[in-house]
Chain A
């Protein structure tokens, strides 16, 4: 699942990931959309924008995790903020973090290492 409040970026990343891998993607245009979708089906991995419309990325991650409970999707942080990218707390909280624009090869190799629960 790709979560960002910029629809074009969500669509672009979903399309690219599907084209380059065997993953099936869903896009969520913001936190409310993401929560609603996670309550229906928990994805194996979530690529999360850290800066959505004034909502703190860490708080967003917490809410998505409680919505996904008891399952634990792999959480990847995507940020447009260089300083946040270097914050130690980001690497503790997330499986990995990437600065926008994310490097395609890095993104694909991260996704390859995600254990697939749903097949």
Chain B
């Protein structure tokens, strides 16, 4: 049987093999819907089989090798182009994106050879056509991947700059106020406090940014676990955050046994991010409620609750991801979300998890669940490279 007919007839078998291979090869594919992975494979394969059946002159072959081939499917975007864009938006890196094509090519050729084709001149030509079509799809996919990745990076930098500029503006305005006040011998302690809060906000953004970039480089987050009283850790963080926001109130309580084994500094950072988040987005006239719950024997849960408008269900899924994916709204339309991303990474690095619930009556609750003893937790398996 010819190769293009084989691809069409045996596509289910090829796709099963591709799916198994891709899931094994791609760490990020493990977190991807298998149906989605298979679906993309099917579309790319169908476009390739179609391309192989088109008659091709020597000139057309040469043009294709130079990347000037005309579209044969009449669509605006080929499956390979869409594939590249989707992979960039999903936070894949370039290796992972090309690996799918390697998997597809390997699956097709292995299964075809196993079917025992007579390898005459026509079959060799078909094999060449197949490889040309694969190369073209791969090139199209990578090009669109690069464009999309650059767009995401620009968006990221735009939002980062916006988030740094607001506290910077506060610091500058407050310091100008202090300078003028000093000349007229007027004390304005509130302006000094505001400037300090602004500087701390920039510091915490940069800390989160550093963790995010490290995670993107695949270094992982190192956790140094030791026996601690989570009640004390949380009480210390609450006191620190309150010192920065003297006008707000945070209620704090401990349920059950709060002793555990974890990285107190990291978990403290996560709690601090959650409290900062709750103070920024929650209703200002109601207290933020923090709780350490050690009533289960094998886990310790830390939750932070604020009242205020609930978070829409659709947005909740992407809260822990930096930037909302695939949106082309203006940078001001969303937060960078590095704070929550870091919270999740800290939980994962401990072998734990994060969750969020948001209802009108009960408010918004973020919860970090950690194993009671995280001393065996490995370095976090970072889900993918987000900076591309």
State the CA gap A63–B162 with chains docked (Å). Answer: 23
In the complex, A100 Cα to B167 Cα: how many Å?
Answer: 9
Tell me which of A36-44, A81-89, A109-117 binds B: A81-89
Residue in chain A with minimal CB distance to B173: A12
Taking CB atoms, residues of chain B closer than 8 Å to A102 are 169
B173 touches A13 (CB 8 A): yes
Which B residue sits closest to A6, measured CB to CB?
A: B166
Judge whether B165 is part of the interface by a CB distance below 8 angstroms: yes
Select from chain B the residue with minimum beta-carbon distance to A57.
B332
Residues of A within 8 A of B191 (CB): 12, 15
Q: Is the CB of A84 within 8 A of B332?
A: yes
Docked CA distance A56–B328 (Å):
13
List B residues at the A interface (Cβ < 8 Å): 158, 161-174, 176-177, 180-181, 188, 190-191, 194-195, 197-198, 330-334
**Residues of B close to A19: CB separation below 8 A:** 177, 180-181
A27 to chain B, nearest CB (A): 12
* Chain A positions near chain B (C-beta within 8 angstroms): 4, 6, 8-9, 11-13, 15-16, 19-20, 50-52, 54, 56-57, 78-84, 99-102, 104
Please determine whether A100 and B330 come into contact, CB atoms closer than 8 angstroms: no
B330: chain A residues at CB < 8 Å are 51, 56, 81, 84
- Shortest CB–CB separation between residue B89 and chain A, in angstroms? 20
**Contact status of A8 and B172, CB under 8 A, knowing A50-B332, A84-B332:** no
Q: List 24 A-B residue pairs with CB atoms under 8 Å apart, sorted by A's residue number.
A: A4-B166, A6-B170, A9-B166, A9-B170, A9-B173, A12-B170, A13-B169, A15-B173, A15-B190, A15-B191, A16-B177, A51-B162, A51-B331, A54-B334, A57-B332, A80-B165, A81-B162, A81-B330, A100-B165, A100-B168, A101-B169, A101-B171, A101-B172, A104-B173
Q: B194 and A104: CB pair below 8 A?
A: no
Bound-complex Cα distance A104 to B173 (A): 8
A58 smallest CB distance to B (angstroms): 10
> What's the Cα separation between A82 and B43 when bound, in Å?
40
